[in-house]
Amino acid sequence: MVKISDIIRGQDLFGDKKRKAKGRNQKDEVVISGILAADDIINDMISPSLRGPTNIEKKEALSILSGVSGSLDKMFSSIRKGKEFDIAPLKTQAKKLVKSFEKFENIYMIQIYNDYEDVSLTPKYNSLWTALIAIMIGSVLGLEREELTELALSALTHDVGMGLIDEDILNKKTDLLRSEIREIETHPEKGSELLKKFGDDYGYLFEVCAQEHEREDGSGYPNGLGAKDIHQYAKIISLADTYEAMTHDRPFRKRMLPLYAIKDIVENMKHKFNKNILKAFLEKVTLFPVGSYAKLNSKEVGRVIASTGETHFRQVVNILYGSDGKKLKTPRVVNLMEAPLLHIVEPVDEREF
């Protein structure tokens, strides 16, 4: 469980350290592919209770994500072409995400962390990752299965209005003009108009879509609504969407590492989000997800290969670089719960290597 003290500890340690990121080739269209294959090799080196998911589980989980991504693709491409789109396939996908969440939560969270380079033409991955983070929060809040499905569907459709925004603006690699920002800020209203046609059964969808950029302290848009007037799903999605955006690349900037994003949210944005929702998020979010790189107090750098489920600063790490910064000929796996003198001090961007 994330403790606020852990986050505060992180703040003290990191200060204003600059993180440079070397560019890497942009990924191809399909970003959802098998991940962590190499981990199968090192899985054998981890005690059975800490081992990651099996290949079969990964395949099943990734195929669910691919299905959702495919439905989102269809939705956005229909909107771009001015065609009607059907909500039923997305509802089916939302149900699948919720149903599989408990079983595959770890795989989903690892995938969200690792697919940070996607800067696709449509916000489909943002919608997918936002839905998963929203389900994570909703589960901690104790929402019922039916409510979680509504929440997931709301998240999958929260940015439908982006399908009506000029793609040149969405993909612009430099600062946006004021007029371009205004154009983007029309997407909640445009999106909710698109969702209205699904009728009263889906009333929550257009309400949430219209409110996803409203904020608890009244600082959001388009209407500057206050806490009392914002739908609960919109409150959850606004936090999930913010965290997703911060921890993933965008055409004009690189991502932040999870710890820095969480630090920023807690330090600078906490009044914008509902307190209980923020608390639920902090209970579950992972500071050093499996797949991420981290520096230890010994100055060695390694990759987190398994979660101990204990304090964030003590995971199972495959140490790849020695304290002199040189790549080790033989990496070594350390369970930091069993190495009292070692702990993680900061996250490292793998693009630095």
Question: Which chain residues interact with Fe ion by CB under 5 A?
Answer: 159
Phi/psi-derived region of residue 45, left when phi > 0, alpha when psi is between -120 and 50, beta in every other case:
alpha
Say how far apart CA 99 and CA 149 lie, in whole Å.
Answer: 9
The answer to whether residues 36 and 110 touch, using CB atoms and an 8 Å cutoff, is yes
CB of 237 to Fe ion, least distance (A): 9
Give CA angle at 245 (241, 247), nearest 5°: 120
Q: Are 175 and 193 in contact (CB under 8 A)?
A: no
Residue whose CB is less far from Fe ion, 132 or 294: 132
Q: 277 or 296, CB closer to Fe ion?
A: 277
CA–CA dist 27, 131 (Å, integer): 22
Q: Residue count of the chain, please give it.
A: 353
Judge whether 312 and 287 are in contact, CB under 8 Å.
yes
Q: Which of 312, 241, 255, 240 is nearest to 8 (CA)?
A: 312
Nearer to Fe ion, 159 or 349 (CB): 159
Q: Which is nearer to Fe ion, 159 or 216 (CB)?
A: 159
Hey, which residues does 250 pair with through a beta bridge? Answer: 253
Question: In the complex with Fe ion, which residue's Cβ is closer, 96 or 158?
Answer: 158
User: How many other β-carbons are positioned within 10 Å of the β-carbon of residue 95?
Assistant: 16
Position of minimal CB gap to Fe ion: 159
* Secondary structure (DSSP) of 134-165: HHHHHHHTT--HHHHHHHHHHHHTTTGGGGGS
Closer CB to Fe ion, residue 159 or residue 244?
Answer: 159
Closest distance to Fe ion from the beta carbon of 162 (Å): 7
- When the beta carbons of 105 and 189 are compared against Fe ion, the nearer one is 189
Structure tokens at 264: 């920023």
Run of H or E including 225: none
Cβ distance to Fe ion smaller for residue 131 or 305: 131
Q: Are 351 and 22 in contact (CB under 8 A)?
A: yes
Q: Nearest distance from residue 27's CB to Fe ion, in Å? A: 23
Residue 238 CB, nearest distance to Fe ion (Å)?
9
The minimum distance between CB 327 and Fe ion, in angstroms, equals: 41
Shortest Å distance, C-beta 184 to Fe ion: 8
**Nearest distance, CB of residue 153 and Fe ion, angstroms:** 16
Spatial separation of the C-alpha atoms in residues 351 and 59, rounded to whole Å: 26
Shortest reach from residue 187's CB to Fe ion, in Å: 6
